[in-house]
Chains A and B, each alone.
Chain A
Amino acid sequence: MERPPHFICIQLPANPEYVLIVRLAVSGLANRLDFPYEEIEDIKLAVSEACNSIIAGSPPGSLILVECDSDGKTFEILVKTQSVDENDGALVPGSEQDMGLHIIRALMDDMEYLAKPGSGAVIRIRKNMSA
């Protein structure tokens, strides 16, 4: 399948040690997409918080997947437990009680958090790009 030019995908162990790598890669892509400095910092924090949350909700020893894409108008980042299918009908809206999810909501234009208790979760975040 042909991928859009800005698509990047990172697979990593569900381990806090690796969140730094995601942060660096995603901020590099946001820079390539010409986001201003302040928004790059916001995206960095939002994607890290999404990883923290997904790692916390993933079974031990699992992998997480981070997919980034842009259509020129929106920058979209999907963070999920690798074994969870984001189109699975059994996913239900997760609890947004924790501070990390509150931070994502405040910094991004849109966030969707779906979970399958015991199996993992999916967080999709979107940031609009200025014209």
Chain B
Amino acid sequence: MDIKVDKRKVEEGLGIVDILGEIDVYTSSWVKEAIAEFIKEGNYNIIINLEGVRYIDSTGLGVLIGALKRVKEHEGSISLICTNPQIKKIFNITGLSKIFAIYKSEEEALAAHKEG
């Protein structure tokens, strides 16, 4: 399986998901399951680190949108860490860059979360 998903709890209700590999039509179900489980554990504010992601397609984007819907039910948030220009381009093309806050680093994402 060309995908690895690691979850870290930062504080109560806030967690980070590090994804490594390619998120496509085949691997996206693993990512979906891992994030859904993390949300079920009460992590309604999630930072998803895409720095280790080499490729994402529309099914991967669908997983992120689904996760956003679920945390919104609990007034939570999903923010992303991404500097790969090719992946950022996909977020721009699909208009998702207007829906997700995208940060350059974990520090930047955590600081933005603290500022609320």
Known: A45-B55, A45-B57. A99 touches B24 (CB 8 A): no
Task: Say whether A2 faces chain B, with CB atoms less than 8 Å apart.
Answer: no
Q: In the assembled complex, which residues on chain B have CB atoms less than 8 Å from the CB atom of A17?
A: 26
Q: In the assembled complex, which residues on chain A have CB atoms less than 8 Å from the CB atom of B110?
A: none
Task: Say whether B112 faces chain A, with CB atoms less than 8 Å apart.
Answer: no
Alpha-carbon distance between A52 and B62 when the two chains are bound, in angstroms: 13
Chain B window 2-42, contacts with chain A (Cβ cutoff 8 Å), 1 for yes, 0 for no: 10000000000000000000101110000000000000000
Q: In the assembled complex, which residues on chain A have CB atoms less than 8 Å from the CB atom of B83?
A: none
Q: In the assembled complex, which residues on chain A have CB atoms less than 8 Å from the CB atom of B86?
A: 38, 41
- When the two chains form their complex, are residues B24 and A48 in contact, meaning their CB atoms are under 8 A apart? yes
Kindly identify which residue among B2, B22, B58 contacts A100, using a CB–CB cutoff of 8 Å.
B58
- When the two chains form their complex, are residues B26 and A20 in contact, meaning their CB atoms are under 8 A apart? yes
Kindly identify which residue among B26, B62, B94 contacts A19, using a CB–CB cutoff of 8 Å.
B26
A interface SS class: helix
Question: In angstroms, how far is the closest chain B Cβ from the Cβ of A77?
Answer: 16
- When the two chains form their complex, are residues A20 and B90 in contact, meaning their CB atoms are under 8 A apart? no
Interface size class of A (residues with CB under 8 A): 20 to 34
Question: In angstroms, how far is the closest chain B Cβ from the Cβ of A115?
Answer: 18
- When the two chains form their complex, are residues A99 and B25 in contact, meaning their CB atoms are under 8 A apart? no
Known: A38-B86, A103-B90. A98 touches B25 (CB 8 A): no
A contacts, CB < 8 Å to B: 16-17, 19-20, 23, 38, 41, 44-45, 48-49, 51-52, 55, 98-100, 102-103, 106-107
Counting from the closest, the 9 A-B pairs by CB-CB distance are A100-B58, A16-B25, A99-B58, A16-B26, A106-B93, A52-B25, A41-B86, A17-B26, A48-B57
